[in-house]
Amino acid sequence: MVIALIVWACIFHTKRKAKAELPPQVRYNLPIEMLYTLVPLVMVSVFFFFTARDSDTLTKVSGNPDVKVKVEAFQWSWRFTTTVDGKAGKPVVGMPVSDYQQGPQLVLPVNSTVEFDLFTDDVIHSFWVPNMIFKRDIIPGIPDDNPGRKFEIKTLGETGVYAGRCAELCGADHSRMLFSVKLVSQDDFKSYIASNQAGSAQ
Ligand SMILES: [Cu+2]
């Protein structure tokens, strides 16, 4: 269609109607200039309103979740420490793997609120469990109390094992920085936590 229009313009619109005449000038046309200014201003304001409103809801942290998880990312795996009722369990540490099922496994209860605290001291990583529909970069040097380190989600109601990965190119074995999240029933989670906190041997 574009080519057809170009050909049409070449054939039918080559003759000058008058010599050296300028096309109609629209400078200092107040209504048009106001339109140029106001329309983008309104568009940006509307986008800003919805973005601010939704990101505020999505990043809200209640402060009293059912489970707290400290996520420590390193080149190239993860260390998860789960805290329930103020008591921290034994950390789960992983190694680079090519199948997420072999990576470190984070066990969480279904239908529960979970607060994640993201930490790293080497390079930028990104914590991503597609199933949670939430992804956040883990940046070295962010202080403990910075809200950018924490986010809270509600886990799904269905048990299962879900893939997780690092979503920020962080070095040679980035693609093997895989882990899994296992969602279990509330009862299974209680017994998992009991055995995880009681036993001292791995
Ligand atoms: Cu990484």
**Cα–Cα distance between 59 and 79 in angstroms, integer?**
23
Residue-wise pLDDT tens for the chain (202 aa)? Answer: 999 999 999 888 877 666 677 777 777 888 888 999 999 999 999 999 999 999 999 889 988 999 999 999 999 999 999 999 888 889 999 999 999 999 999 999 999 999 999 999 999 999 999 988 899 999 999 998 888 899 999 999 999 999 999 999 999 999 999 999 999 999 999 999 988 875 544 4
> How far does the centroid of ligand 1 lie from the alpha carbon of residue 169, in Å?
6
> How far does the centroid of ligand 1 lie from the alpha carbon of residue 175, in Å?
8
User: Can you give the pTM of this predicted structure?
Assistant: 0.77
Nearest-5° Cα angle at 83, 95 to 173 = 15
> How far does the centroid of ligand 1 lie from the alpha carbon of residue 74, in Å?
7
Q: Is the dihedral of CA 133, 192, 150, 63 positive or negative?
A: positive
Q: Residue for token digits 């882990």?
A: 179
What stretch of H or E contains 38? helix 30-58
The answer to whether the CB of 73 falls within 8 A of the CB of 166 is yes
pLDDT of residue 181: 96
